[in-house]
DNA sequence: TTGTATGCGTTATCAC
DNA sequence: GTGATAACGCATACAA
């Protein structure tokens, strides 16, 4: 029997999609059977199953997401909030995250917070309201009420791009402080004493602040006053990196090594060095962080810290998938980041 | 009166979020009033409105997405399917798209298809099933049934990253063929006759194939046999660009100009040229397409085609927003892409 | 201006 | 193995 045309039919903006009921009618079974057929095929007789699937195909049926979410209380959707989509810093990790989720039949929702805590909180609440079953977050730094909210709602989440073993929250990533310290030690061992840092804003950004501390750790370890580290904070763009570098080069004494919080800033610094006719690394060394594509492309190629992007993404997906099935991981996962020596770092020039 | 504890309570994975009814009870009104308060505040008395909003705040109420979608038949969500998130080609345009949507209270869902038509179709159906109110698509090339599906469901969509005025489907973008032709004419006017192209796979990719045709247009226009264009197809990565370049340089006669379908491939070609000790543009000229960040960073800086990323993103958002409100645009929008001359293109070397 | 009642398309719990 | 049917949380036409 055909479905009665709905009273509201003429007001409907769109042609109604086939529903479970349409499929049920066509296959001559109940909606319950169709539902089982789709979610629990083993509990249905083979012959009816085939009949149902046939109807599903010819009707082009696809479940209505809202209804499914409402009834099942789960959406098969995970969310990720990243600081920015503009540069490639998070792209590779996110791609790996996505791939792993897709393999497990779950959809990824991505939101970007523009490095703004308020916006991030809003995005988090938004994704949860939209039924995200689990969340990927970058870094630990956020207001307590955000974590309370997540815990109240029992929404699984993992923190990535950082690893700190004293944290109770589950994270998968690397130790930014240790990694940067490692790089800084290389720099210092090449004779550099006047060191500068170009970084993004450190407030509300634990990756940035830990990287900075890593440098100071290395300095202290080698008898250099950590207070002597000159720091310029600026947003993550190439031209900002260039400007920051220019201002540093005007200071006295000039740094012989400019470490950058990431490769984008470093690329800007490199560009500016060329514009100022400074030889890198002859006159000044420059290093980056992240090891994204541009690090290999610039001239000279950037000495930087290789970050395990894909491992983080895939690992985060695995953790979240497990958590959704009730397996609470007992500890965070530390991945290795390692220094990649290329051409932009050399011995300190003689004074 | 308190809500009765649900039978299933103990099985619930999560603490239930406050519902409209909770808010209604607390504010001493009906759910209808609360709903109006949130969606149509003007239709509610000021005093009750304040009482309701107060309750909303203290309870931390947020609407349940699934229920809302189910009841309202709209989600305030738009979707975008892009070929890849890995490189920066689509990032900036997408960011602009996102920003404009956010300003209008709508959420963006992003999916990436890995340049695979089947996957793209699946993503499109998925986003529609999830209730996407409108869709952003890249390029025209896709199976007819996909467009039928979209039209059946009356889901508004716009095509970007391309513009073709003979197309009945609404698009906002630039003419890839014309833009590349323009660049190729510059190349030819510099004396180049042996031209090669490194491009991504052209099948199912109208941007890539149009760019290729643009070169051939220019060649024909200047009396060069378009069949003489050597073409290497390879995926969009730096190392693929490098490999393709290497193989081209082994051919005889060697091309004096290698045009690339995008900046990423061009960066790879540049890298390989350096490795082969070829001077660019002295021995060979190399050009890109897109004008993403790396174009300015590489040495020599890339001559490329500047694509109006942000305008496309923002414009697409505007179009879609209008379409959702029933304003069907009558024509597509053509934006300008222009050649950016930098250092990687020079006169053809004497033979 | 506010409340009542119904429907949205699934899932899941029962009986059969 | 299968079919009724009661939630699920919200929007909205309609009544008051």
Q: What is the CATH classification number for the domain harbouring A42?
A: 1.10.260.40
Considering the domain boundaries, does residue B70 fall inside one? no
Instruction: Kindly determine whether the C-beta of residue B48 is less than 7 Å away from any atom of nucleic acid strand C.
Output: yes
Using CA atoms, how far apart are residues A337 and A323, in angstroms rounded to an integer? 25
Place of tokens 């039924």: A131
**Ranges in chain A, pLDDT < 70:** 1-16, 166-167, 351
> Are A189 and A170 in the same domain?
no
Q: Which of A21, A39, A63 is the last residue of a domain?
A: A63
Question: Gap from B67 CA to D9 C1', in Å?
Answer: 5
Strand-strand pairing, A107-112 and A77-82: parallel
Please tell me the total number of residues recorded for chain A in this structure: 351
Considering the domain boundaries, does residue A345 fall inside one? no
- What is the pLDDT at residue A1? 31
> Are A211 and A326 in the same domain?
no
- What is the pLDDT at residue A324? 84
**What sign does the dihedral A83-A85-A86-A89 (CA atoms) show?**
positive
> Are B314 and B295 in the same domain?
no
Q: Do A65 and B66 touch (CB under 8 A)?
A: yes
> Are A31 and A82 in the same domain?
no
> Are A148 and A256 in the same domain?
no
Task: Give tens-digit pLDDT for A34-83.
Answer: 999 998 888 889 999 999 999 999 998 989 888 998 888 888 889 999 99
> Are A27 and A106 in the same domain?
no
The 3-state DSSP class for residue B192 equals: coil
Question: Gap from B26 CA to D4 C1', in Å?
Answer: 35
Task: Give tens-digit pLDDT for B4-46.
Answer: 333 333 233 346 789 999 999 999 999 999 999 998 888 889 9
Question: Gap from B72 CA to C5 C1', in Å?
Answer: 17
Considering the domain boundaries, does residue A1 fall inside one? no
> Are A256 and A324 in the same domain?
no
- What is the pLDDT at residue A70? 87
- What is the pLDDT at residue B17? 81
- What is the pLDDT at residue A339? 98
Q: Is the pLDDT assigned to residue B3 strictly greater than 50?
A: no
Q: What residues contact B260, with CB distance under 8 A and at least 6 apart?
A: B197, B198, B199, B241, B266, B269, B286, B287, B288, B289
Q: Do B87 and A293 touch (CB under 8 A)?
A: yes
Task: Taking residues B288-300, report their average pLDDT.
Answer: 92
Considering the domain boundaries, does residue B81 fall inside one? yes
Considering the domain boundaries, does residue B349 fall inside one? no
- What is the pLDDT at residue A166? 66
- What is the pLDDT at residue B13? 39
> Are A146 and A186 in the same domain?
no
**How many percent of chain B have pLDDT more than 70?**
95
Considering the domain boundaries, does residue B51 fall inside one? yes
Query: Distances from the Cα of A120 to the Cαs of A73, A85, A112, A285, in angstroms?
Result: 24, 14, 8, 35
Instruction: Kindly determine whether the C-beta of residue B23 is less than 7 Å away from any atom of nucleic acid strand C.
Output: no
CB nearest A15 (choices: B85, B94, B154): B154
Considering the domain boundaries, does residue B132 fall inside one? yes
Considering the domain boundaries, does residue B264 fall inside one? yes
Instruction: Kindly determine whether the C-beta of residue A20 is less than 7 Å away from any atom of nucleic acid strand C.
Output: yes
Using CA atoms, how far apart are residues B174 and B160, in angstroms rounded to an integer? 8
Residues spanned by the domain of A117: 76-174+309-335
CB nearest B126 (choices: A94, A107, A110): A107
| Structural domains in chain A (count) | 3
- What is the pLDDT at residue A129? 81
> Are B211 and B268 in the same domain?
yes
Instruction: Kindly determine whether the C-beta of residue A41 is less than 7 Å away from any atom of nucleic acid strand C.
Output: no
Contacting residues of A for B87, CB less than 8 Å apart:
88, 91, 293
Question: Gap from B104 CA to D10 C1', in Å?
Answer: 22
Instruction: For chain B, positions 268-327, list CB contacts with chain A under 8 A.
Output: 270-271, 274, 293-294, 296-299
> Are A180 and A83 in the same domain?
no
Q: Which of B288, B307, B326 is the last residue of a domain?
A: B307
Q: At what angle do helices A91-103 and A309-324 cross, to 10 degrees?
A: 40
> Are A191 and A280 in the same domain?
yes
CATH number at B148 reads 3.40.50.2300
> Are B170 and B180 in the same domain?
no
Q: Residue A287 CB: number of other CB atoms within 10 A?
A: 29
Q: What residues contact A62, with CB distance under 8 A and at least 6 apart?
A: A17, B125, B128, B129
């Amino acid at each position: 029997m055909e479905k009665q045309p709905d009273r509201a039919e003429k007001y409907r903006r769109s042609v109604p999609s086939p529903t479970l009921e349409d499929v049920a009618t066509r296959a001559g079974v109940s909606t319950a059977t169709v539902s089982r057929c789709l979610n629990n095929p083993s509990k249905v007789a083979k012959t009816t199953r085939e009949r149902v699937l046939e109807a599903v195909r010819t009707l082009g049926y696809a479940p209505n997401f809202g209804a499914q979410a409402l009834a099942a209380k789960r959406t098969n959707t995970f969310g990720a909030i990243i600081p920015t989509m503009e540069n490639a810093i998070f792209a590779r990790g996110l791609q790996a995250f996505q791939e792993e989720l897709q393999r497990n039949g779950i959809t990824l929702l991505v939101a970007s917070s523009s490095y703004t805590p308020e916006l991030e909180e809003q995005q988090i609440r938004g994704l949860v309201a939209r039924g995200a079953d689990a969340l990927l977050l970058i870094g630990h730094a956020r207001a307590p009420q955000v974590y309370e909210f997540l815990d109240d709602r029992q929404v699984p989440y993992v923190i990535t791009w950082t690893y700190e073993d004293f944290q109770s929250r589950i994270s998968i990533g690397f130790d930014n402080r240790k990694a940067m310290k490692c790089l800084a030690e290389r720099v210092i061992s090449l004779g550099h004493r006047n060191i500068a840092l170009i970084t993004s804003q450190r407030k509300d950004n634990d990756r940035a602040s830990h990287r900075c501390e890593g440098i100071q750790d290395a300095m202290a370890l080698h008898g250099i006053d950590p207070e002597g580290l000159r720091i310029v904070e600026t947003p993550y763009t190439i031209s900002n990196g260039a400007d920051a570098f220019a201002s540093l080069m005007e200071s006295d004494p000039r740094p012989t090594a400019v470490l950058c919080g990431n490769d984008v800033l470093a690329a800007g610094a490199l560009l500016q060095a060329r514009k100022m006719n400074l030889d890198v690394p002859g006159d000044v060394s420059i290093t980056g962080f992240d090891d994204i594509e541009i690090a290999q492309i610039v001239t000279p190629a950037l000495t930087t810290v290789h970050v395990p992007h894909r491992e983080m993404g895939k690992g985060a997906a695995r953790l979240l998938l497990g958590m959704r099935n009730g397996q609470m991981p007992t500890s965070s996962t530390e991945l290795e980041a390692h220094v990649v020596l290329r051409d932009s770092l050399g011995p300190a020039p003689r004074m």
